[in-house]
Chain A
């Protein structure tokens, strides 16, 4: 039997480790090899028991029961459980009234499924740059892209931080657009007490097993503000013979996990705060910015580098990031880029084959652009100057581990000389000069 239980506990860190030689230069790693694995999702005996109970229930009732329970948690008016997050975004878009050939404004920085869901709705994704502080869709950039064919705007609550929903709502209202949330990173995230998924006219949300709120495999859920929008989505799927139904197995697992979501959210918030405080003290690193009234879900934790604060302002920021990345990984902190080029520069949007023969892009050629990364300078700057923790902090990791992460960042920040040496030795390419990566 393979089990995901850890083989050994992680020791508490000590001061000596912080001042020891960098692991990349022969020292001991802050997070020792063999103790780096984080467990996600956490599966308990209750999850097993609840799944077994569900085998005795009507499958449709299991799915409906889960959807109602989570809808109530989110505070949305209507819900439609789906087989995936992409399916939920597709359903949300058509429920919000998006028609073939319509334009939908999305951020250039997101997971690619945001834009592919627009294509699934036979509509055209139009890419806007992001805000330089929150890394969510920039409402001002979106405003400049509104045309007569624009039907919806779909911000992403990137990494779990709600987008500027007040400005986006205002923009949507002024131009008669639907406001559709991509809440796939933002389980339990909120703005002024309203949980992501309940804010827009409609929303889609991934519930795959790698998200803060995991189902038993793949799944998603669409939310709607009105009965009409919900009915439109349901009718659309039936009319076109599209089966996006959620498995009862995924749903039963999710219903069980939902009971513990607030607990995991609290652990994640504690860990994010603890790490954030430590990062602030390094000078080189800044934690994610969280605007007043916003609750960040920390599905991912994006750390910004400030080379000038460490006396490295004369070096290219992307090179500093690459060097820091190497040093952190050697210390046992699996930081990553999570994307290295704007979404419109990925193959599906450079080739635009769509459903075949260029559909739906051929429906509205005026909306189609041959983008280069430089079209999105804020996104590029962000990609060049940030690193991300994903599952390593999404998981409700133990106190010892988050302390060690903090120490690893502190240890690396104390060694600008090592960072400078690496930059001098290596010819690091800019992120977007490498082959496009999703993660």
Chain B
């Protein structure tokens, strides 16, 4: 993406006045979610603020937590360290339960049930997504990045709901709309070229 495009999209979002991820009127995060679900053919996208957060979201979505074991074949040292920090044992002989990809990969040509897509290389700061067809996995992943039993748009005002997806530890893994807007345009331009 050239500098003019970046300048244009940043100016557009700043002019809208909506730069918070939990703003009801934000359109940038849903926009990037749509771009990624279209590109991957997956139904759901959970946007987060780093590659490690996306791995955490994928594992949580798949129901893998502290004390569990999972596949770790092919994972690099940072990912293996992160799994160990989560208390998840990585088996070197078994592939991980998610495909670890970047924005440069063809997301439509991946067979895995869960995709972790690192968008950091687009150049707008750490950003990533967990993509899946499984609504339950998506709901569990979303709950990891927000606080309490709420969704992204109603964290402040909504009463606790969906307690069947019991929140455990929760992080603010939320992606910023400005970053999402730039990432979306870059992905779109990349796809066109």
Which residues of A come within 8 Å of B, CB atoms? Answer: 1-4, 39, 41, 43, 47-48, 51-52, 55-56, 59, 83-87, 111-113, 116, 119-120, 208-210, 214, 216-219, 239-250, 253, 346-348, 351-357, 359, 434-439
Contact of B7 among A55, A218, A240 (CB under 8 A): A55
**Given known A52-B7, A247-B125, A346-B148, contact A356–B67 (CB-CB < 8 A):** yes
Most buried by B among A56, A216, A436: A216
Most buried by B among A51, A85, A240, A356: A356
Contact of A217 among B6, B157, B179 (CB under 8 A): B179
Give chain B residues whose Cβ lies under 8 Å from the Cβ of A84: 49, 171-174
Give chain B residues whose Cβ lies under 8 Å from the Cβ of A56: 3
- In the docked arrangement, what's the CA distance between A415 and B90, Å? 66
B11 contacts A116, CB within 8 Å? no
- In the docked arrangement, what's the CA distance between A244 and B49, Å? 8
Known interface pairs A1-B15, A348-B148; 10 further A-B residue pairs with C-beta atoms within 8 A, sorted by A's residue number: A4-B17, A59-B125, A86-B172, A113-B170, A116-B169, A208-B172, A243-B51, A247-B127, A250-B176, A439-B156
Q: Smallest distance from the beta carbon of A13 to chain B beta carbons, Å? A: 26
The size class of the interface chain B forms with chain A is 35 or more
B185 lies within 8 A of chain A by Cβ: no
Q: Which 9 A-B pairs have the closest CB atoms?
A: A356-B65, A217-B176, A247-B125, A4-B17, A439-B156, A353-B168, A241-B82, A84-B172, A243-B50
A43 contacts B157, CB within 8 Å? no
Q: Smallest distance from the beta carbon of A98 to chain B beta carbons, Å? A: 14
Q: What residue in chain B is nearest A206 (Cβ atoms)?
A: B172
**Given known A43-B19, A216-B176, contact A436–B10 (CB-CB < 8 A):** no
**Given known A116-B170, A439-B156, contact A243–B126 (CB-CB < 8 A):** yes
Which residues of B come within 8 Å of A, CB atoms? Answer: 3, 6-7, 10-12, 14-22, 25, 49-53, 64-68, 77-82, 84-87, 123-127, 147-150, 155-161, 163, 166-179, 182
Contact of A239 among B10, B19, B81, B169 (CB under 8 A): B81
Contact of B78 among A41, A241, A437 (CB under 8 A): A241
Q: Smallest distance from the beta carbon of B151 to chain A beta carbons, Å? A: 12
Contact of B176 among A43, A87, A247 (CB under 8 A): A247
- In the docked arrangement, what's the CA distance between A217 and B11, Å? 14
**Given known A3-B15, A116-B169, A357-B67, contact A210–B22 (CB-CB < 8 A):** yes
- In the docked arrangement, what's the CA distance between A87 and B150, Å? 20
A217 contacts B21, CB within 8 Å? yes
Give chain A residues whose Cβ lies under 8 Å from the Cβ of B160: 346-347, 435-437
- In the docked arrangement, what's the CA distance between A39 and B12, Å? 17
- In the docked arrangement, what's the CA distance between A245 and B178, Å? 16
A sample of 25 cross-chain residue pairs with beta-carbon separation below 8 angstroms, ordered by A number, consists of A2-B16, A2-B18, A48-B10, A55-B10, A59-B123, A85-B172, A116-B147, A216-B178, A243-B52, A247-B124, A247-B127, A247-B176, A248-B125, A250-B179, A253-B19, A348-B167, A351-B167, A353-B167, A354-B66, A356-B66, A359-B65, A435-B159, A436-B148, A436-B159, A437-B158
